[in-house]
Structure 1
Amino acid sequence: MLLLLLLLSCMGKAQQITVTNDSRFPIQIEYDNKKADVGINQKKTIAAKDELKHISLFYNNDKKTKRNIYLFLSPQQSLGIHLKQDSVTFTGDKSALHDYVNHRLYSDLILKISEYQKYYQNNDAKGFIRTSEMYLGDALKKAERLNHSPSGREDIHYKEIERLAKDQWFFTVFMSFGRSKMDNTEKELMLYYFEKYFKKDIATFSCNSWVDYDILRRYSLHRKLLNLQLPKYEIVEHTDEDEINQYLPAKCQEYYFRGSYDFWIYKKDTVRAEKYRKILTEKFHAAL
């Protein structure tokens, strides 16, 4: 009987995410390959037995208004997501953590770009590195405190937040330096971040974002000046950038074509856009 009760207890565990829509538009929620509509002044509760990593919200069912909400809930925890016009607020379990990661984390990091650029313009690579590491450390300390787990930095949710924070941090760092011709300051920065953050996993590196692609492309472009040994890959579709793309795994090569596709879509050149759409869907099996 005790075993049965334990099994029933485990089976009953589910996250509860309630989305309240007080915006001026209907909302569509996408989660775990499912969709749910939430009308104006209505709410929808999602019960998830498997931990949801994120949900996506679309205002007025418009894919261009996609807003990702990252989730860090354990089983039986609940979170309220309240939409009011363009703002999102959180209530319930770990509400402060969700607010920080989904709102303030990015601004905490992005607002440092001008400071990094001053160090770079003054050819102060060590100041650049010291300051960037300090701001990343500050952000991770806030996340650890708000996550409030006895496992500390070994907690699974903290590790997910750390990955998100580093992705955003890499964006701010790498967009803060670089000239048409590599100088000694850029070389020192490129080598520092490569040795500390990329080298150990370079054989399995993949691209989950344009930022990943741009960073690896820069290392490929400057590999000789930096004296780097990068793994080689088969070229999926030949271009004028084969010399660079041969050091990018297929998923990263895909972003090269996504960039071209998005550019011609923006220019409303459907003929050229179609060329890249076919490459993406037929060669990379990409979803557009």
Structure 2
Amino acid sequence: MAITASMVKELREMTGAGMMDCKKALNESNGDMDAAIEYLRKNGEAKAVKKAGRIAAEGIVMADVKEDKTAAIVEVNSETDFVAKNADFQAFVKAVVNQALTTKATDMEGFMAEAWNEDASKTVNDALTEKISVIGEKLSIRRFEKVVTDGCVVSYIHGGGRIGVLVEADTAVVNDAVKEALKNVAMQVAALNAKYVSQADVDADYIAHEKEILLAQIMNDPKESQKPEKVIQGMISGRINKEMKEICLLDQVYVKAEDGKQSVAKYLDEVGKANGTTITLKKFVRFETGEGLEKKNEDFAAEVAAQMNA
């Protein structure tokens, strides 16, 4: 399979590996992107795979919460940042959030097909099409999520709509202190981009795969590969535990911790006890504008092509 400059560019942005390393990985894997990522990781070239890719699309994330029990978050994309800041566009996104708050749809197909709240004679898709014709730029309602809880749900929007987060928790007490704590956790999610609530949510296959990658990295290192099996397994376990503390929200160090050591779990326990309740984090939703979408960058593509042909 012919390896193109755009393939090298995509792999480079997903893995952070060097350009020529990416080209070699794609050649070794006959252009299979997943296999190329695996190749880079096993050879220690890609320490963290950014599956979402580079943030490049425009638009905004918006969220709303009703009575601490129902929340919705949406991402609506535009072609330019100029339109994303347009009042008409933002009013439309607000209407999409309101739609998501009342929707019974469970996927984008159902959401786009349901009656538009502001005019039941139209569908959501019809309303989007009309807005495109008014603004004169391609728009896309990319995703939404609705959360309904018996406990408490809060939202947090960062950077004027660049990142949006919902955090849901079980709690018998819903007061300003509890909501502030959950808002702080939402800010943490926005900043540190946890992948899971707790280690209990991490799939066993994911752990097994990470161990396989770590073992391959060790065996590719002339010094580390000579260590006893027991030591190697201990190294793998230590690295897995470190990774869990980075990707599991409750295990992360709470960013506002005064001692720089308190975990998010202990922070919520502390707030819960002070307010006569137990705060159990159930889920979080994090949308980042343009996640996984890219604009064309002709200059960079030319740079890649030039280096590939060198």
Bigger relative contact order (CA 8 A; separation at least 6): 2
Q: TM-score when scaled to structure 2?
A: 0.26
Q: TM-score when scaled to structure 1?
A: 0.27
Write 1 or 2 for the structure with the bigger share of helix: 1
